[in-house]
Structure 1
Amino acid sequence: MIGTSSRLLHLLSLLSSRPSWTADELARRMDVTDRTVRRDITRLRELGYDVESDPGRWGGYRLRPGTKQIPLVLDDEESLAVTVALREAARTGVLGDDQAVLSAFLKLRQLLPTRVASQLGAMDDVFEHTARAGGQPLSPGLLAGLASACRRGERVRLSYRDSRGTETERAVDPHRLVFTGNRWYLVARDVERAAWRTFRADRVVHAEPTGRVVPVDDPPDAARFVAEMLTSDYPLYVTVRLFVPLAEAMRAVPPTAGVHRADGPDATVVELGGTDVESLAARLVKLGVPLTVLEPAEVRAAVRRRGLALADGNRPDDH
């Protein structure tokens, strides 16, 4: 017979996995009686969990969110996935340099079963990381505050430091956060300039919510907006037709690295920038998808040269 503590954890896991359960459904999933389910629900309530219920045999049980921190019940693969994600966040700074990321990783690692810890150790032995791109430390608390403002549509007062180190005060209407190149970008409408702007989140010194919810009219595609901003300074651009659907093209060339346009159901036109003809040609060849360079002619010729050289080096033996 499964122990009471394990059964309560199982019940919590079920209640948090979907909005509502009937007593019969819970009983079948846990292989217990309806009476045991009702008794365990009572125990959870005594422990401080806010479990709501509807009267009657077919009434549902639901766990009211946010009332108490719920212990997670993870299998081996889930434990490894969460630990690796926290480790990479601590190493890359995707959530900022806040100590909370490293602390959470160290706590979770201590709780890993030996078999999972050995898998993580094997990964540590073979993984290597390049140096992080420069940038100011970014607090997860600040990132979470910006995300909440985006979700609520709440105007924010930003203290923002530009690339020259000049600090200014901005009133902005946040729309979306975009992550690319180990950096977070806030896409927001600059109130004073009445224009959409991107703000590097690591340059936000302070963000103060105003409590004023402002409807955002005709917002841009955030990922495309950031991509256009990042590629606006390239000395050379190429336009290609990838003979794959839009979704596959966006996997080959991420939205933050190029501007995409569906060209029928089975093709996508993409514009991306680079520093010179040869590096762009090499990048296109590495995509591994059928394509045609629309312009410029110099890049088309460079891609052709590379393709011919590859074919020439892989001719079948004469004998």
Structure 2
Amino acid sequence: MSNLERDPQEVVCAADDAGQTELLTGRAVPLGGPRAMTVTRTLPHVRRRMIGAWCFVDAYGPETAAMRVPPHPHTGLQTVSWLVEGEVLHRDSLGSLRAVQPGQLNLMTAGRGISHSEESAEGGTLHGVQLWVALPEQHRGVQPAFEHHADLPVLEGPEYRSRVLMGGPSPATAYSPLTGAEVAVDGRAELPVEPGFEHGLLLLDGAVTQVPDGPLLYLPPGRERIVLEGRGRVLLIGGEPFAEEIVMWWNFVGRSHDDIAAYRKEWMEGSGFGEVRGFDGAPLPAPELPGIRLKPRGRVR
């Protein structure tokens, strides 16, 4: 999924280890067009820009508005597509063509540069989450790649069932210590977690006492378990606090203003990101860069 804002702002953050839970309230972002869907963006947030290496969380639905995101570029990140209901068709400049359905993972590693499109059928219900993972410096220039995982590992415990998207037993490629899972809760569950990770929880459906509907709940490092009570599904993300400073603007993650300017120039000139074949429409043009230089920052504002 693309950041389709007409005037995307630089993501500015600074290190902080306050040790407090936070509710990160999302903002509505239209994906473009008179009938297009609107997503709720909880990361990046005005207070907190990352949870581990997770740097972008868009939740959408359930609704019947179709998703139609034209070809657009990415660098320095991985895109993670996770559905609760419906189907989304992915095309990319590697030649990948793959629909993702609930319980399956589409993972695209942009690395040095890739472009892709996403669309859903008219009239069907769509409900899901799109996430980005920032690549650490030593891996941000890797070759672009696409993975589809239809059979993900499931971990079970008293009153919960967890399908692991990334980290731990998941076959999905990860470049930093992190976790991602859809957790179904039926009663009172205690989830074991890595104490060195910070975590985020997003309610997908049902009702879970500790996770309100809408905001992303942030939990700082230092806990060995997370208690959840109720009946519903939550998305759990987490990882080691990301130590590097990054610049995140539009659909690019870089390390400097010059990185971002170069990526934008390449995209507008039609070089560096390949071609998405089969999409019925023109690629997205990049917005204008802001009038000030973009600065690399840490993970918290």
Shorter-chain-normalised TM-score: which range? Answer: under 0.3
Greater relative contact order (Cα < 8 A, sep 6+): 2
So what's the TM-score if we normalise by structure 1?
Answer: 0.21
Q: Higher helix proportion, which one? A: 1
TM-score, scaled relative to structure 2: 0.22
In terms of fraction of residues, the more strand-rich structure is 2
